[in-house]
Chains A and B, each alone.
Chain A
Amino acid sequence: MIMSGATIQASAPARETVRGGRSSLTRSRIRAAWIFIAPTLIVLALIAGWPLARTIWFSFTDANLNSLNDYEFIGLENYIANYDGEWLGLLTDTDWWRSVWNTVWFTAISVSIEAVLGTIVALILNASFPGRGIMRAVILIPWAIPTVVSAKMWNWMLHDQFGVINDMLLRLGLIAAPITWTANPDTALWTVVMVDVWKTTPFMALLILAALQMLPGDIYEAAKVDGVHPVRVFFRVTLPLIKPALIVAVIFRALDALRVFDLIYVLTANSRDTMSMSVFARQQLVDFQEVGLGSAASTLIFLIIALLIVITMAAGRVRLGGETR
């Protein structure tokens, strides 16, 4: 009796200290943690936080590229304004919405194709065959070439008079007359998608290949002994197991595709048929010198991308911080 009473008394204050406050060791650990991450936080604030904040601020002004120091706060007028009963501003601009639609369409189509092709390529590279090491290196070449260079290269290959692609298709008899791939509204965006797929499928394949190589080999042997068909093994075993990595790869690529600029700018310049959000923002900011309007467009790009990523992550139930298996 006395023993048990003593135990209860002894454990009660102990529990209180745990609940009451942190021990000095915990406090010094927390302090050390802050000291270690402070440089990163400062650098991030300078190179990411400050430009973002400035862009958002400019979007509420009438700043002009000619006189960046001479501007007035105009509230939401860059976004939407009513002059004499007529609605103006970015949110009413059909060109802007067209560029949003182009970008989203481009992202959805190209990332989907890349995910499927990337998985296929990764599965092939994951198999063992002679020359696999060289193949893995060779396949990365499109990814290694700077976008401007590969876009220019494709521009020439797709040229309506001198391009090798029109020439091949003509010789094969698949088309009767040369096609102006990048200028024709029907083909322009598809052409951009095709070049993007060519360029970034290797990146996707590499990310998926990394996931494939993490898979335990023994479960495939177990499936073999059980006589499960390879196609079924892929959909029931491989795909569920690489899904977390696949979704991260898709998010990476989607982030990239949503801010696409160089590829479209080099291939089709400022064509309205293919203009992406970034091309639109640059046009406002640089060509039309409308820093306020351009900043408003940039701010909207930021919001749209953030929203789409949140939706994707929620749909894929990915928790970037936690275990996703």
Chain B
Amino acid sequence: MADVVLKNVRKSFGRARVIHGVDLDVKDGEFLVFVGPSGCGKSTLLRLIAGLEDITSGDLFIGGQRVNDLAPAKRGIAMVFQSYALYPHMSVYDNMAFGLELAKSSKAQIDAKVREAARMLQIENLLDRKPRQLSGGQRQRVAIGRAIVRDPKVFLFDEPLSNLDAALRVQTRIEIAKLHTDTRATMIYVTHDQVEAMTLADRIVVLNAGRIEQVGTPLELYHRPANLFVAGFLGSPQMNFITCVVSHVGSDGVQVQLPNAGMITVPVSSDGVRVGETVTLGIRPDHVKVSAQGTLTGRIELVEELGENHLLYVDFGKDRHLTIREPGDARHGIGQEVSLSLAPESCHLFKDSGEALPLIAPTGTPMARSPSPATSAA
């Protein structure tokens, strides 16, 4: 068990800078997920922690020890690769035992460890098989088993589920969560799949172009994205963004003028934003409602029925689009004009720089996001 601390870690490949100064504090026993679009440096960051790449500058501590110059094997880590990285000519048993033979453990000890891991992952009946005789899901279990037998302080997962089919992905995801509960080991997990990130993580690190955009619990990131990138990256379908102009700044929030539509007052503090400035209003598809008297009107372009809910794609002039998610079956057809209302407390405002405007402090504001006891007391 160990914590992992990164201090201003940078990585360049020749001239190309890939990681631009990352500071991160992974607590002991935490499940941390790196998420971001492809090429954002999340895998590179994991490989820096594993020791498969050299850190260009900055410090990396595992369990309080500076490990920059330590070989991967001495860092107390185990890694599960996206492609499984099993030795093709060795049996499942040998694949798991190979790394142990060196650690001077006795044959009986190795055997006990391998069988225990195999029992945990329910691959006991596969121990004599070669990797090519296994399905993708079974191979991934062997790869995880190989990590478990090393009894690492930190588990590193590099997109372990991306080669599996959808059903198996859900199942293996649950198993990894269970493994974390059972072992209480520190786990760092890389994925580009936001569902994996949301479901597995204690905390999520959103990376973009080699920089950390935001760190926080899944719900913090979902409800209070710190900037446009995080707001757009998490959540599916994507958050709607509408460019609009600030028309009034008051103590109850910032009022904006929607294009081709009415005004809306979002309960956020102005943070230096002045009247006349352009800002981006963000609202998730679930918070836009079809109503009789809405703030804006538009024409339905497309309807997608998903069974439990449905998606409406609405065009409200000059190529501006909104996605709406409503429960149940669709009650509107393509081409129909609808009036839409946006819940002001569910809106986010982003400055030109992409930064989100902070919520108004709960004290004395009737328009706080959730009617919490604190507000009612005030």
| A contact set with B: CB distance below 8 Å | 216, 218-219, 221-229, 232, 236-237, 240-241, 325
Contact = CB atoms under 8 A, between A and B. Distances in A.
B42 to A, nearest CB: 17
10 contacts: A216-B83, A218-B81, A219-B88, A221-B85, A225-B51, A226-B98, A226-B99, A226-B102, A237-B87, A237-B89
Given A225-B79, A228-B99, A228-B102, A240 B89 contact: yes
Given A225-B50, A225-B73, 10 more contacts: A221-B52, A221-B79, A221-B85, A224-B71, A225-B77, A225-B99, A227-B71, A227-B99, A227-B102, A232-B102
B198 interface: no
Interface string B65-85: 000000111100111010111
A219 B85 contact: yes
A222 B72 CA distance: 10
A227 B73 contact: yes
B85 A226 contact: no
Chain B CB within 10 A, most for which of A218, A224, A226, A228: A226
Given A224-B73, A228-B99, A228-B102, A241 B79 contact: no
A224 B52 contact: yes
Nearest to B78: A225
A60 to B, nearest CB: 49
Nearest to A224: B72
Contacts of A224: 51-52, 71-73
Interface of B: 50-52, 71-74, 77-79, 81, 83-89, 98-99, 102-103, 132, 146, 150
B85 A227 contact: no
Contact of A227 (B72, B84, B86, B146): B72
B59 to A, nearest CB: 21
Contact of B85 (A216, A228, A232, A236): A216
Nearest to A236: B98
B96 to A, nearest CB: 10
A205 to B, nearest CB: 23
Main SS class of interface, B? loop
A67 B325 CA distance: 99
A319 to B, nearest CB: 16
Contact of A222 (B71, B74, B85): B85
A240 B87 CA distance: 10
Contact of B81 (A221, A228, A237, A325): A221
B102 A225 contact: no
A224 B103 CA distance: 14
Contact of B98 (A216, A228, A241, A325): A228
A241 B89 CA distance: 7
A211 B87 CA distance: 16
A101 to B, nearest CB: 37
A228 B71 CA distance: 11
Contacts of B99: 223, 225-228
A113 to B, nearest CB: 26
The 7 closest A-B pairs by CB, nearest first: A227-B73, A226-B99, A218-B85, A222-B85, A225-B72, A240-B89, A225-B79
A223 B146 CA distance: 11
Contact of B89 (A222, A223, A325): A325
Contacts of B72: 224-225, 227
Contacts of B74: 227
A60 B81 CA distance: 66
Contacts of A225: 50-52, 72-73, 77-79, 99
B350 to A, nearest CB: 40
A226 B89 CA distance: 17
A237 B87 CA distance: 7
Nearest to A221: B52
B97 to A, nearest CB: 10
Contacts of B85: 216, 218-219, 221-222
A225 B103 CA distance: 13
B84 to A, nearest CB: 8
A325 B50 contact: no
Nearest to B77: A225
A64 B71 CA distance: 74
B34 to A, nearest CB: 18
Nearest to A226: B99
A218 B83 CA distance: 8
B78 A219 contact: no
B73 A241 contact: no
A233 to B, nearest CB: 10
A62 to B, nearest CB: 56
B160 to A, nearest CB: 12
A228 B78 CA distance: 13
A229 B87 CA distance: 15
Contacts of A228: 73, 98-99, 102
Chain B CB within 10 A, most for which of A218, A223, A225, A227: A225
A325 B150 contact: no
A70 B212 CA distance: 93
Contacts of A232: 102
A228 B98 CA distance: 8
B254 to A, nearest CB: 50
A228 B88 CA distance: 16
A133 to B, nearest CB: 18
A140 to B, nearest CB: 29
A237 B89 CA distance: 8
A229 B71 CA distance: 12
A19 to B, nearest CB: 30
Contacts of B51: 224-225
A219 B102 CA distance: 17
Nearest to A323: B132
A223 B73 CA distance: 9
Nearest to B81: A218
B123 to A, nearest CB: 17
Given A227-B102, A229-B102, A219 B73 contact: no
B2 to A, nearest CB: 16
A325 B73 contact: no
A237 B81 CA distance: 18
A226 B73 contact: yes
A219 B98 contact: no
A226 B102 CA distance: 9
Contacts of A325: 88-89, 132
A271 B68 CA distance: 65
Chain A CB within 10 A, most for which of B86, B88, B132: B88
